[in-house]
Amino acid sequence: EDKVVQSPLSLVVHEGDTVTLNCSYEVTNFRSLLWYKQEKKAPTFLFMLTSSGIEKKSGRLSSILDKKELFSILNITATQTGDSAIYLCAVEASAGGTSYGKLTFGQGTILTVHP
Amino acid sequence: DGGITQSPKYLFRKEGQNVTLSCEQNLNHDAMYWYRQDPGQGLRLIYYSQIVNDFQKGDIAEGYSVSREKKESFPLTVTSAQKNPTAFYLCASSIGGGFKTQYFGPGTRLLVL
C-alpha cells in the first residue's frame, strides 16, 4: 500500500523564522511528488518535483526531492503570518487497470506563524 | 471492471465555443475532482464535489463550470471565458472527501483550433 508521511505534524514559529517541512514516501511506480498549501478549503498547488536534486523555488518557498532516500523537503524562509496553513505533500503514482494514476496525500503539517 | 472513464480522449475547441468533458466512475466514490495539467506543472484543481448536488471551486475555476446531478458523473464545461484552455484535463475520485487517496481517469487533451 502506498504511504506518504509528513513531519512534523504541527509547527509554531515566529515571523522571520525559517522552517523545513519533511515528506517521506513509499510508493510503487512513482511519477511525481507535489506540495500543496491548504488554508481554507481546497489545497493550492505549490510545486511538482520529478527529478532528484533539482531545487524548485518560488519566492520564499523552495523544495527538493531525493528519490534515492524517498523524501522531499519544503523550505520557507523569512516566514510571515500569511504562511500559516496546512502544508500537504502528495505523491502521484501510476496505477494499473483503468485508472490513469493515483494521488496519495500525507496527513499534512499545520504551520502557525505568530507575529 | 471498476474505474474512472473520461471522454473524449482528444477534443478540439473553436474560438468562442463551449465544450464539455465527460467523467464517469463506477467505484461508488463520493468525491470527484477536476484537475488541469500544463506542461512541466503539477495538477491544479479546477472544481471538486464531495457529494451529489454540491461542488466547490478550486484554484483555477474561472472559465469553467461543473454539475454533479448523479454520484457517478461529474462533467466539466470549458466555457468561452477560459482564454487559455489548451491543457490535459484529469478527473479523479475518492471514497471520502478531504482529499484522501484519489484515483484518476485517463485524461482528455483539449486543443484550441
Model confidence pLDDT, tens digit, residues A38-72 = 886 667 889 889 999 999 999 999 999 999 999 99
Copy the grid coordinates of residue B91. Answer: 478527473
**CB–CB contact B105 A95 (8 Å):** no
Q: Which three cell numbers stand for residue A42?
A: 481546497
Closest CA to A82 of A60, A108, A57: A60
Q: Residue A34: its chain B contacts at CB < 8 A?
A: 42-43
- Higher-confidence position of A1 and B49: B49
How much is the pLDDT for B100? Answer: 65
A34 in contact with B, Cβ within 8 Å: yes
- Residue A98 is predicted with a pLDDT of 45
Q: Quote the CA–CA distance of B34 and B95 in Å, as a whole number.
A: 15
Where is pLDDT greater, at A45 or A21?
A21
- State pLDDT tens for residues B15-69: 889 999 999 999 999 999 999 988 766 778 899 998 999 999 887 999 999 999 9
pLDDT tens digit sequence for B72-92? 999 999 998 888 899 999 999
E strand or H helix that includes residue A3: strand A3-7
CB B1 within 8 A of CB B98: no
pLDDT at residue B2, as a whole number: 64
Residue pairs spanning A and B at CB distance below 8 A: 67
Q: Given this model, what pLDDT does residue A105 score?
A: 83
Distance from the Cα of A91 to chain B's closest Cα (Å) equals: 10
> B41: distance to nearest CA of chain A, Å?
6
